[in-house]
Each structure stands twice: as C-alpha cells, then as structure tokens.
C-alpha cells in the first residue's frame, strides 16, 4: 500500500533493512601497482552500489537489502554482500543500528542494521567492478546517498579503535604474513606512518605471533620470516558479537560525536606505535 503524502510517510512504521560496509586492503595508487614503493603502501577500499531509483538516484550507496522472515540478520547481511561483490569474507560483525527519522529524506522511514566485513587481501586483489558496483579507496569516496557517509566514518573509527587487537589486522591479510605486511596494514588502518623498528619490537613482544618456519621474499629485500596469528582466547571466524551502542547517536546528536567517542580508544591503541613528533 502506498502513502499519499509526506505526513503519512513520516507516521508510517519504518521499514527495516541491512547494509554492509565491506573493507579490503588495496593499493594506495590503483593505477600503479607494480612498483615496489606502491606495493608497500596500502589503503582501505570498499565497494559501493549506484542507486537506480529515487531518492538519490544515481548516487552511490552501501550494499544492502530488506529483511526476510525466513532469514536471520547475519544471513541477510551475507546475501547483500555476496550479491554485490561475490566475496565470502570470514569476518562479519554487527556494527550499529541507524534509525534517525531524517535519514529517509522524505521517503518511507528506514531503519538500517549495519554490518561490517573484513575481506582478505587475496580474495579482493582484483577489485572487480560489477553491474552498478564499483570499488573506491576510503579517502576518495563519491557523493553518498542518505547517511552512508556517517555510517562509513563510524565503521572506520571502530576499526581504528580495535587496531590493538592483532587479529583484526590479520583478517585483512590472510592466515600468514610477514611483519612488513602487518606493518603495512596498521599504517593503512591508522592513516599515518608508524615506526617500523618500534612496530616490530611491539609485535614480537606481544606473544600474539608465531613463526611458521617459512620465508617470503618481498621485492628486493632478503626473504622475511612468515608469521601467523595465535589467538590468546576463543575466536569466532564467522560472525562476531554486536558492538556496544554509543549513547550520543541514539540521542540524536550530530554525527561528529560518534567519532569523538572512539577517538580516545583509537589514540590509546596507536600511541605506543606512532613517533611522538606525529602525535
């Protein structure tokens, strides 16, 4: 049944859907991925979908879809992800629920249950575009529909606040990696330089990494030791639990407060690794 005017739409029960922020590690310069200097400098990329209907027709948006009675929230999130990118990430976590009345911009009220997924570098290496789907670097996003810019900023802040947990970074790399590769991921997530020597000391002293006994050549460097992440406690490789809900957004305050709530946690996690001159 349709709704005849704006007032009726505003008073209608909201629709509920699922959206997914999909993050993968990619080159900082997509046009030049063969040079050794670029190979060691990565950044986060994500796929977006071009809208084919109003509102915001022609704008880019996060992958998503409606809920079904015969699907769980996680299943709906996986379906939205796979139908967009054909990727099958092992890490999917519920991020937050966005339901501000103004986010529908005059359309039917919409509540979005947002998940975020981390895709291993080997699976997303091609960054293949699809029908109305395109990959973008996180620092060069197009004009986004609805409040999806706020959602992405929130997801990136959550990722940066969790950087102290080594398994988060390794989920972007795969099961094995060198310290230089892990350092590259930390820099991509942090968005700033991290002293390599200090980083190596911190990681090796953490007890989270195990030497696999293998070596891997990186460019012209001598073969480097290959490590794997050794979790100190149980790790769910499929679906993680829900994050705590920040009170600022639920109270309807500006989106900047979301970022401010996690800035302290992010800074605490990064401070031991970043040279004091950069802080």
This prediction's pTM: 0.77
Q: What is the DSSP string of 122-181?
A: TTSTT---BTTEEEEETTS---BSTTHHHHHHHHHHHHHHTTTSHHHHHTTT-SEE-HHH
Q: For residues 178-217, b (16+ Cβ closer than 10 Å) or e, as one string?
A: bbbbbbbbbbbbbeeebeeeebeeebeeeebbeeeeeeee
Which residues, 6 or more positions from 111, have their beta carbon under 8 angstroms from its beta carbon? 14, 15, 16, 17, 97, 98, 99
Domains of the chain: 1-146 (3.90.79.10)
Tell me how far apart the alpha carbons of residues 250 and 257 are, in angstroms, rounded to a whole number. Answer: 11
The set of residues, in sequence order, having a beta carbon less than 8 Å from that of 149 and lying 6+ positions away, is: 141
Q: Radius of gyration (Cα) for the chain, nearest Å? A: 20
Please report, in tens digits, the pLDDT of each residue of the chain (279 residues total). Answer: 454 565 666 677 888 999 999 999 988 864 544 444 434 478 999 999 999 988 899 999 999 988 888 999 999 998 888 888 777 787 899 999 998 888 876 667 789 999 999 998 888 766 778 788 999 999 999 999 999 999 999 999 999 988 877 688 888 998 999 999 999 999 999 888 899 999 999 999 988 999 999 999 887 778 999 999 987 655 444 444 332 323 223 333 333 344 444 444 444 445 555 554 454
């Amino acid at each position: 049944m349709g709704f005849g005017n704006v007032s009726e739409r505003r008073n209608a029960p909201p629709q509920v859907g699922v959206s997914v922020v999909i993050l993968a590690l990619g080159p900082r310069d997509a046009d030049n991925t063969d040079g050794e200097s670029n190979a060691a400098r990565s950044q986060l990329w994500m796929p977006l979908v071009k809208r084919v209907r109003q509102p915001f027709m022609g704008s880019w948006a996060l992958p998503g879809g409606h809920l079904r009675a015969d699907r769980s929230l996680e299943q709906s999130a996986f379906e939205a992800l796979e139908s967009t990118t054909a990727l099958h990430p092992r890490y999917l976590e519920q991020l937050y629920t966005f339901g501000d009345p103004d986010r529908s911009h005059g359309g039917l009220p919409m509540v979005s249950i947002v998940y975020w997924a981390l895709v291993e570098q080997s699976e997303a290496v091609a960054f293949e575009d699809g029908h109305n789907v395109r990959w973008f670097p996180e620092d060069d996003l197009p004009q986004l529909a609805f409040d999806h810019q706020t959602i992405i900023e929130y997801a990136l802040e959550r990722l940066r606040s969790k950087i102290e947990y080594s398994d988060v970074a390794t989920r972007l790399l795969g099961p094995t990696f060198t310290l230089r590769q892990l350092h590259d991921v930390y820099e991509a997530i942090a968005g700033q330089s991290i002293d390599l020597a200090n980083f190596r000391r911190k990681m090796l002293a953490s007890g989270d990494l195990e030497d696999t006994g293998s070596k891997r050549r990186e460019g012209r460097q001598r073969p480097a030791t290959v490590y794997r992440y050794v979790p100190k406690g149980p790790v769910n490789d499929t679906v993680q639990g829900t994050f705590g809900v920040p009170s600022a957004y639920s109270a309807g305050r500006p989106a900047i407060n979301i970022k401010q709530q996690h800035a302290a946690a992010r800074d605490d996690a990064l401070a031991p690794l970043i040279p004091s001159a950069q802080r």
